Structures are given as C-alpha cells and as structure tokens.
Structure 1
Amino acid sequence: MGTRAVELRGAGGVPVTAVLELPPGRPAASAVLVSCFACLGQSPGPARLCHALVSRGFAVLRVDFTAPPVGSDGAQTKPDTLPSVDAVVEAAAWLRERYPPARLLVGHSLGGTAAAAALPRLPEVAALALVNAPSGPEPVLERLTALEREAQEGEVSLGPGRLRLAKGFLHDIAAERVAQALGAFPGAVLVLHAPEDRYVSLEHARRLLAAARRPGSLFLLDGADHFLSREADASLAADVLGPWAARHVTPVTEREAPLPPGVVEVHEAGEGSFAQDIRTGRHRLRADEPLSVGGEDSGPTPYGLLLAALGACTAMTLRMYASRKGWPLEHVHVQLSHDKVHAKDCQECETKTRKVDRLKRSVKLVGPLSEEQRAKLTAMADRCPVHQTLESEVDVLTVLED
C-alpha cells in the first residue's frame, strides 16, 4: 500500500493536510475518510479502517480535523486544521481529478457530521459510514463557553489534540441541515456507534438513522470509547466496514482481474515496519510481525501463513480421501506449531551439526470411524501436496525487475 501526504484547501482557503492510501495496482474505487481520531493521540482507528478499504481496492484520502497539540514552549509543528464541510468536498474533488470518484464517505465524530452535511454537494457518493458521529453540533456546543456559543466559534479539547471551530462550521452542520441531507441521500448508510461513548450519546445514532431516506444499518461497538482507542475495537469496526463497503459500493473485488493460478503478489503495506499486503487469485491477505519484534500485529506472521497452508492442505486431503472412500468423517481439526531444534535431537535429520525446523502437526478426526480408518487417514496427512513440497528439494529462483 502506497502512502503520501496531500495538501487541500478547506473553508476560507485554509490548508488542510490529508494522507492518501493506495492499494497495489490501479484503485477500483475511492473513499474519503474524515475523522477526529487525533484528539486521542495514537488511535489505531485510522489505520484499521483504512486497511479494511485499501485491502478491497479502494484509494482512501484521509483527513483529520484535529489541530496539533501545542508544545510546552507554545509552538506547534504544523498549522491548525479547521473542520469544514468544504474540506470534505475538496477531498472528493481531489480524488475525482486523479482516481475513480469517491463513492464512499466515512466519517468519525464531527468528521462524520461534516461528511453527512456534504452529501448534497457530492452526487457521486453511493454510501456513507458514520463512526460515533453526532447528528448535529450539540455535543460541541455544550463544551463551548457562552461567549463562544454566541460567536459560533471557539476551541474544544478532547484529549492531546484540539478542535478549532471557525465561524460558519456549526451552522453548516446544524441538525436540520444534516437531517435534510440524509433524507435526500439515496445511498446506503451505516452507523457504527459505541453505546458507552461519553462524548456522543447513542441517541445521536438513532437520529441519524431516522433521518436517512432508506433503511440504514446500525452496529453497536459494545465496550468501545469515542476514539476506538483499543486495538480490538478498531479492528471490529474495520471488520464491519470493509465487507459493507464492498457490498454497497462498486464490488471492487469482482472488478479487479484475479491473478493467474499459482501467482502471488506481495507489496509493503506502508503501515509500521513489516506489514505486507498479499494478493492471490481474487483474494487479499495481510502479513505482519507481532508487537514484540516491532510489528503492528495486523496479520499472521510468514511462518503463521506457512503453518496455515500445511494445516489447510492436510484437512482438505483427509476430507477428499474420506469422501472418496465413503467414510463417516464429520470434522477435521488440525493444530500446528513451528520450532527450531538441534539436529542431534532429531532422529530423522541427516545433518547433526546445526538446528533444523520442526513443524508439529496434531490431527483430530471427528466421526464414527474405525481404528483402521483413523490410522489410514492419519497416514494420509503426509500425502498432502504442501507436506510433500516441504519435504522435497525446493529451488527458489529470484530475479530483479526493472
């Protein structure tokens, strides 16, 4: 996945810094993700939501409305970002000129409210996903002083970051304007909301769904906070968003030509130090390393994928053999582990001077099988193609492309 910074212009021409996330190959669709995640600092939300879309062929332009925190010396490293509906429209326009039009808007917190308010100006949008988004400016107004409410501008602190509100923004996201925009929007609407959100109550999610023109979908992120600060909560939201987006936006996985049989593509994901995006056939996978060695733990390790290949091939081989014989095999469960052992401890090893890889495979066969049938099926595990490949002499040829 490729990543690069993009500078947009929001309300009054104020610069807005955005980040573009690209899938391998040409994007089949585009999305704009508008959020306030940075109020928390290092939330896993943006990365997880982005990957759920990029892994399905979306180009994602990510805009965060949060102003950077001020240092102890009163200085900040980059200019403030002012939340605005114009910034959402500008992000979609930027994508439209360079990639497929933005068919999906994803908005978190006030970013979601702004995305909903922008719908009348973005006829190409086919789906809207909102994460812990208020139905209007009320949660923000409650945190402003009386003078700021009267002036319709001010500053809100929700964590390390801040939200600077320019005059006109609260008017643009007024509850009646958002309701009108949703009422006229013919596309699909998904609302993800944490019932325990202490900034935006669940009632806002109900209002958003009630205002939508067509029946929307509500998914409750039980136990999550406003910023999806826990990895499990961010991953859950991403697991819901990805398939929903692929269903209600152009089915990108079907539009992209699958790779030929036996061909696998691996690209650096651009997230963390080790994450890799894998494409095989018409499928997409993610590989990574655990946090303990500097990875993001966003997917199985390479050895985890190797064990998965052996385990899957084993179960398929046993199922095929039992079906051919007409044996009553109801279920196959395979558990595997990998370790390195000293060659001198391995009776089957030819070398005795170094460590060798040991793959341990435990097979559980469920069903009214005879002892003879169980013994035969256990022996057949060694006949699976991946097992035979691992035990054979393998020639790996590496070429450098221009």
Structure 2
Amino acid sequence: MTTHVPRAAPGTPSPQVRTRSLPWDFTGAGGHRLSGRLELPVDGEPTAIALYAHCFTCGKDGLAAARTARLLAQRSTAVLRFDFTGVGGSEGEFADTDFSGNVADLVCAAAALTERLRPPTLLVGHSLGGAAVLAAAHRVPGVRAVATIGAPSHPAHLRRHFSPADRERIRRDGVAEVTLAGRPFRVGEGLLRDVVEQPQRELIASLPVPLLVLHSPDDRLVDPSQAREIHDAAGDGASLVWLHGADHLLTDRADAERAAQLISSWAAPLLAAPG
C-alpha cells in the first residue's frame, strides 16, 4: 500500500510537546557505556515502548531523533533513543564501529529496556538507523512493528557518501579522517566492508512483523527509489507513505510531527493487540 500525505500549510501552529526525559545509559555490544535518553509521557503510564535508531553520525540529540521521540511520547509511547558506540555521549571509537555493531547495540538496548522497564514492541529508525532496525527486528523478542524514515534499502548505500579518494585512503591506511555532514570523523575500513556484506534484502523479505516506510519524494540524500525497494521486498506486510515537502533530516518541526503522528496512528492497533 502506498499513501501520499501532504505537508501542513505554512504557519500551522505546533502543539506544545510536554514529556519527561530521563538519562538511560546501558552497556553496548562492545562493552562500552552507551548514552541514552528515555522519553516518557508526562501523565500516566506509557501504552507502548519504542526503540529509536538515529541516522548515520547524527546522534540521539539530533533534531529528527529528539523531536520524533518527544512527539511519540506525547502520544503515550515511551521512547529510548541512544548514541551508537563512538557517537555523541557514548564511549568507544567511531573508527572501530560498523553497521553490524550498530545492530548489536540495538539488541543490547532492547535487552536493557526489557530488564529495567519492559520489552520494546516498536522499532523506529531514521536513515541508516532505519536499515539497522530492519536488520535488528529478527533479534528483538516481542517486537510487533517496525517503522523507517528515509532509510536506504541496503546499508551499502552509505558508501556513496564517501568520495573515491576517501574510500581509497581508508582502504590504503585502514582508517582515515573524512568530512561527513560538515564534521570530521575517523572512519575505518571495516565499516565500508561490513555494509556491503549485509544480507539486508533477505532480512527485509523475511521481516516477521508489519512495516511502515516513510520517505520524502524530495529526499536528496537517500533516493526515494530506495523506499520502493524496501516496500516491495517486504511484501504485503508493508505500507509506504510519502512525506511530501520534507527534507532527509526532518529539519522542519512540522515534518517531524507528521512522521511521529503517522507512526503512532499506524502502530497503535498493532501494539494494542493481545500478545
């Protein structure tokens, strides 16, 4: 199923988002302390628990992650967002990380939620984080729904963001400093090799739960054709919704609100069904 959702008219007022935000650190797959934040509804107990994976190098406090988590929490879904190993406030070296490690960190985050609160039933991922939740869904007991925002159909798409010269320096030296989104990062050869080796299409095709694919037809970083590939690979259990007018990073608050509302409305009957 494919749906088109228009953007709100300019000047449309945004509701005041009120949530409780708590530090939530836990141990990641590599033994490092990972920095997380749990977003909770202000009033009452959450009706669902979600786990949010941020985009490549963005971190848990990026606009899309923070806004989407808070808006979902306003709609009674508690959300854990965290920095992957080597990013933001988390320990570890970014140069030593790869896509498989991000997936493993998600599994550890789910285990921490299960131990300290209750198992997450919704996985949400933005961009490369979307690819990560698609890969992690098979390894998270109790998950009932997965939603992606601007995700590539395969993590190997990440290689396109490195110039041929950067890829050659990384290959030659094993690790090299490159500029990503205007910031310097030390990137290891393992990352570029690991993304290519992922069986992503097989994982999407065998996804055990319903999938919501959100993508902007105006996305200039991850081509909209990637969303169609995910949707088609997932088959009858997937829904594709176009976020007209949004950019890849959901830098406009109204676009983050729209994404959160769509995810919440779509997931509500799935998460409320008897286990």
Q: 2:110 matched to 1:88?
A: no
- Tell me the CA shift for residue 110 of structure 1: 0.9
> What is the DSSP-based 3-state SS (H/G/I as helix, E as strand, rest coil) of the residue aligned with 1:107?
strand
2:223 pairs with 1:211: no
Asked if 1 retains the 8 angstrom alpha-carbon contact of 2:32 and 2:92, the reply is no
> What does the per-residue CA deviation read over 1:314-354, in whole Å, with 9 as the maximum and x for residues that have no partner?
xxxxxxxxxxxxxxxxxxxxxxxxxxxxxxxxxxxxxxxxx
Aligned residue among 223, 246, 249 for 1:227: 249
**Quick one: which of 120, 126, 136 aligns to 1:108?**
126
Matches of 1:136 and 1:175 in 2, distance apart?
Answer: 10
Which consecutive unaligned segments of at least 5 residues does structure 1 have?
69-75, 253-402
Alpha-carbon separation, structure 1, partners of 2:176 and 2:125: 22
**2:242 partner letter:** L
Matched, 1:47 2:69: no
CA shift for structure 1 position 99: 1.7
Matches for 1:290-309 after TM superposition, within 5 Å: none
1:148 aligns with 2:167: no
Task: Select 1:185's aligned residue among 187, 207, 214.
Answer: 207
1:47-73 alpha-carbon deviations (Å, 9 max, x no partner): 3321332123222100244834xxxxx
2:55 alignment counterpart:
36
In the aligned structure 2, how far is the partner of 1:36 from the partner of 1:54?
A: 20
Aligned to 1:117: 135
1: distance between equivalents of 2:70 and 2:112? 21
1:209 Cα deviation from its structure 2 partner: 1.0
Q: 1:176 to 1:44 in 2, by over 3 A?
A: closer
Most deviating of 20-29 and 83-92:
20-29
Alpha-carbon RMSD across the aligned residues, in angstroms, is 3.2
SS in 2 for 1:214: helix
CA shift at 1:130, angstroms?
A: 0.3
CA shift digits 1:120-170 (9 cap, x unpaired) = 211311111000111222332123312435888766644255666556555
C-alpha separation between the residues in 2 aligned to 1:119 and 1:40?
A: 20
Write out aligned runs for 1:209-358 (5 A).
Answer: 209-250=231-272
Structure 1 residues 80, 225: CA separation in 2 closer, same or farther (over 3 Å shift)? farther
Q: Secondary structure at the match of 2:237?
A: coil
Structure 1 distance, partners of 2:60, 2:119, is 30
Measure, in 1, the Cα distance between the counterparts of 2:259 and 2:135.
22
Q: CA shift at 1:80, angstroms?
A: 5.3
Residue equivalent to 1:98: 116
Gap change, CA 1:149 and 1:114, over 3 Å in 2: farther
Quick check: 1:67 aligned with 2:124?
Answer: no
More RCO (CA 8 Å, sep 6+)? 2
Residue 201 (structure 1) aligned with residue 223 (structure 2): yes
Unaligned stretches of 5+ residues in structure 2: 1-18
Mark the CA change 1:13 to 1:42 in structure 2 (over 3 Å): closer, same or farther.
closer
TM-score normalised per structure 2: 0.75
Give CA-to-partner distance per residue, 1:2-43, whole Å, 9 cap, x none. 212222333422332111112233333211011128749975
Cα displacement (A) at 1:207 = 1.3
Deviations 1:179-236 (A, max 9, x none): 2222222211011111222211111111111221533111111221110111222222
Q: Is the 8 A contact 2:56 2:129 kept in 1?
A: no
Helix, strand or coil at the partner of 1:13: coil
Classify 1:190/1:162 alpha carbon distance in 2 versus 1 (closer, same or farther; 3 Å). farther
Amino acid aligned to 2:81: R
Aligned AA (2:263): L
Q: Distance in 2 between matches of 1:165 and 1:16?
A: 19
Counterpart position of 1:138 = 156
**Residues 40 and 102 (structure 1), Cα distance of their counterparts in 2 relative to 1, 3 Å cut:** closer
* CA spacing shift, 1:52–1:133, aligned 2, 3 Å: same
AA in 2 matched with 1:91: A
Letter in 2 for 1:67: V
* CA 1:244–1:132: 2 relative to 1, 3 Å: same
Identity of aligned residues (%): 38
Equivalent residue of 1:124, what SS? coil
* Separation in structure 1 between the aligned mates of residue 213 and residue 174 of structure 2, nearest angstrom: 27
Label 1:42 to 1:181 Cα distance change in 2 as closer, same or farther (>3 A). closer
How many pairs are equivalent? Answer: 245
